[in-house]
Amino acid sequence: MTPTDKGRFCAACQKSVTDFTNTSDREIVQLINSNKNLCGRFSPSQLDRDLIVPKEKSKVWTAIAAGVISFITIGSHKATAQETIKTEQTDYTNSYETVGILTGVVRDKNDVLADVTITNKTNNETTVSLLSGDYEILADKGDIIEFYLDGYITQTITVKSSPHKNIKLKKDKNYNEQEQKTGPFVITGTVNDETGPLPSANIVIKGTSTSTKTDINGNYSIKVKKGDILEFSFIGYKTKNILVSSNNNISVLFTSEDNANLGLIVVERERTFFGRVFHSIGNFFR
């Protein structure tokens, strides 16, 4: 066979053999429809299958769709060009930078300060400074920490990148100790048992909805008035009631003697008729 433009010419059958190996199904169908007497060369993947010819989209609808899209695009570009772009400059803060635990020492002009109430206003963590004035509290960068002690000006700081911050409190010249003892004031302390601090112990002002819980170190703080009764409770122990006086620190220790009786509960009250009957039956089986 001799080469031709579209394939080769067979001298034996006097026909042009068309090379269809790189031809699409649509082109093959078009050639067959235009010339029924064809000879061709096919690749194995083109044999023993139906010719697939996708349905052509209407040229009219294609033109209409293109026009609509162009109109919408032009309109949106025009609206964007006419609108004034507003920009706002903000300070960047890396909220993911974690300090973890903020530590330091609280003191005044002359000495270290113990029992200073330290509150993280961002995550509601609360603790108190030790006798040495040292403190530690969970805090992240950007958290707001408040330092409070009766007779001193409350100081508030924002946690920076350093995990250590010493605090110096100033005396409040307008502080009247007698007025503070009769009005609301903050009381602090710890709740422990014989093994150590009790986290999540409940402290409630009796007869009110005001309450708080101890932190992981057993520390707590709560605003009270002189004469309030604080109820201290923890699962497995009997509730303890303590009268608030002018003391700013109340700590509670639960002992084995305070273990709650989780079995039979005996109520020492005057029994009703049915109560006496059930009590007699119980005594019979003892």
Residue holding tokens 């911050």? 165
Nearest to 252 by CA among 194, 176, 191: 191
% of the chain surpassing 70 pLDDT: 65
CATH of 177-258, one of 3.30.360.10, 2.60.40.10, 3.10.20.30, 2.60.40.1120: 2.60.40.1120
Of the pLDDT bands very low, low, confident and very high (cuts 50, 70, 90), residue 279 is low
What whole-number percentage of the chain has pLDDT above 90?
32
| pLDDT score of 3 more than 50 | yes
CA-to-CA distance for 279 and 125, rounded, in angstroms?
A: 50
For 100-168, CATH gives 2.60.40.1120
One-letter-per-residue 3-state SS of 155-202: EEEECCCCCECCEECCECCCCCHHHHHHCCEEEEEEEEECCEECCCCE
Q: What is the pLDDT of residues 243-278, one digit of tens each?
A: 988 777 899 999 888 776 654 444 444 455 555 555
Calpha distance 100→120 (Å, rounded): 12
Q: What is the pLDDT of residue 95?
A: 41
pLDDT digits (tens, 9 = 90+) for 172-209: 887 766 555 566 888 899 999 999 999 999 999 999 99
Q: Kind and range of the H or E element at 233?
A: strand 229-233
Going from N- to C-terminal start, the domains of the chain cover 1-89, 100-168, 177-258
Q: Which amino acid is at 131?
A: L
Domain 100-168 identical in fold to domain 177-258: yes
State pLDDT tens for residues 22-46. 778 778 777 777 776 777 777 777 7
DSSP state, residue 2: E
pLDDT tier at 70 (50, 70, 90 boundaries)?
Answer: low
**pLDDT tens digit sequence for 136-157:** 999 888 899 999 988 899 999 9
What is the reported pLDDT for 94? 44
Q: What is the reported pLDDT for 226?
A: 85
The single-letter DSSP state of residue 119 is: E
Residue 7 identity: G
